[in-house]
Amino acid sequence: MATKIEEIKSNASFEEIWKKIKHYGREGLGEIPDEDLHLLRFYGVFYRKPTPGYFMIRVRVPGGILESGKFTTSQLEALANITEKYGRDIIDITTRQQVQLRWIKIEDVPPIIEQLNRVGLTTLQTGHDNIRGVTTCPVAGLSADEVMDTRELVKEVNDAFVGNWKYTNLPRKLNITIIGCHDDCTHAEINDIAFTPAERKGEIGFHVWVGGGLGPWGTQRSLFLDAFVRKEEVKEVCLRILDLYTEYGNREKRNRARLKFIIDEWGLDKFREKLQSVLSFKLKRGGLARTHPHRHNDHIGIHPQHNPKYVYAGLNVLTGRLYLSQVRELIRIAKEYGTGEIRLTTDQNVIIPNIPKERLLEFKSEPLLSELSINPSPFTRGLIACTGKTFCPNALIETKDRSKELAAYLDEHVGAEVMKATGGLTIHASGCPNSCGNPHTGQIGIIGKKIKVDGKFVEAADIYLGAEFGLYGGFNELWKSRVPFEEAGPLLAEVIKRFVSQKYKYETFREW
């Protein structure tokens, strides 16, 4: 039997939802029925119970590129202006290279969406059963050694489904990544559909991976489909997989509704056959991977571009939360030294491209870099945290401040040793098993728990250790469960000390 959510979706359309947004915008919050709160998410508008009366708006940023120059206001400036006028003082970067605006009142939603549209941004389909932000290497088109510039391709795939209702009523959400570089910067292994660079008979194209994901149902690394596709075939492959997912995905049990479950049921060979039967071209097998099997590049620091006159700078944003004063400075220095463009990474950081080499010294003396560092400490560098209890109704713990405190503790107690041995260890934290903070891809993974100690509820975590980067790497494994958060720092410091004293630089961080 179809679920209630399926019934709600089956009668909806973008036009109807926009009418509802305008209606509630005029009438104020009042009583918005649950049914409509579901529908608003198709427009990226989320009611946040922990902040009664306020909404969050999620903005789609394909490939994480916030453009400048095309419009009178840069896209980041528009986001800053909206935050200043309608929100408070924070903008969050997500693990899908998107942004979240907070403290928004329902009456301000229609003008905000209109203002975003004026600078080429949209909130469409950023929530509920939709395709989330299409991610790519955040330095696509800049990197000195990329295999292929994916910027146009990401836009083409994005434009094929955004605003198209046919591709909005999916059984559950779906994630796509298209990587054109040698590194697995966007974690292809946790996407439902992933394209990674490959070469076949001298031709550059992509390998296709399917069925990856993280969630309350568990973890699944994406599976190699043994299909080599050309750049011009990528969109069709995406759309036909979406068609299969729409038709065969489970609409009765939402916790069995990700693409992975179709592949579990059919097997990979049948999935490939089914896909082949709806494609207009023949899928080719083979091809040589052009990705490094175990590499992840966070792009923090100063790096060369293919144009030797320029470099790009990767700035560390602690847990992806930018404060308005930082955003204003970021806009200023991106214009002052670069072209005004800003890129967002899946590690919740920012990149300023196109800095002339001769201005690097001056750039490095900018005060903002003491807050958004190009040379962060070993545990803050790879720190990712989901929204957590402050704003997310599903959260069991506060994540951003908790993980910052944990990173600071580890920096203080084992930072020097870790820096010497490995350069750093990544911490990925999620406030609940929904895993928005990609907890299973962190060398230290945190999933929030609430436990009782002496009759009182305290914030705790299941702690996972040892993820190995890359398509051929591995997820971390549960090390200790239900650890009160205040005990996490000392326990981790102890195991990390043993790791750095007994293991070598390139070995995986696993408990033994």
Q: Which residues are catalytic?
A: 58, 172-173, 431, 436-437
Output the CA angle 170-224-434, nearest 5 degrees.
Answer: 45
Q: Are 314 and 37 in contact (CB under 8 A)?
A: no
3-state secondary structure 259-287: HHHHHHHHCHHHHHHHHHHHCCCCCECCC
- Comparing CB distances to ligand SF4, the nearer of 179 and 395 is 395
Beta bridge partners of 460: 449, 484
Structure tokens that stand for 258 in this block: 């990700």
Which amino acid is present at 407? A
Structure tokens that stand for 86 in this block: 């309608």
Q: Where are the alpha helices (DSSP H) in 399-512?
A: 400-421, 485-502
Q: At its nearest, how many Å lie between ligand SF4 and the CB of residue 157?
A: 24
- Comparing CB distances to ligand SF4, the nearer of 125 and 387 is 387
- Comparing CB distances to ligand SF4, the nearer of 185 and 384 is 384
Q: Are 130 and 172 in contact (CB under 8 A)?
A: no
Q: Are 86 and 108 in contact (CB under 8 A)?
A: yes
Residues making contact with ligand SF4 (CB under 6 A): 386-388, 392, 394-395, 430-432, 434-437
Closest CA to 62 of 186, 228, 145: 186
Q: At its nearest, how many Å lie between ligand SF4 and the CB of residue 49?
A: 11
Q: At its nearest, how many Å lie between ligand SF4 and the CB of residue 435?
A: 6
Sign of the CA dihedral 386, 392, 393, 397? positive
CA–CA distance, 158 with 67 (Å, rounded to integer): 16
- Comparing CB distances to ligand SF4, the nearer of 101 and 386 is 386
- Comparing CB distances to ligand SF4, the nearer of 141 and 431 is 431
CA–CA distance, 485 with 495 (Å, rounded to integer): 16
Q: At its nearest, how many Å lie between ligand SF4 and the CB of residue 123?
A: 17
Q: Are 368 and 284 in contact (CB under 8 A)?
A: no
Closest CA to 100 of 53, 62, 142, 46: 46
Strand 99-104 and strand 90-93: the pairing is antiparallel
- Comparing CB distances to ligand SF4, the nearer of 432 and 488 is 432
Q: At its nearest, how many Å lie between ligand SF4 and the CB of residue 330?
A: 24
Q: At its nearest, how many Å lie between ligand SF4 and the CB of residue 455?
A: 25
Structure tokens that stand for 70 in this block: 């095309």
Count of Cβ atoms closer than 10 Å to residue 233 Cβ: 20
Q: At its nearest, how many Å lie between ligand SF4 and the CB of residue 437?
A: 6
- Comparing CB distances to ligand SF4, the nearer of 246 and 434 is 434
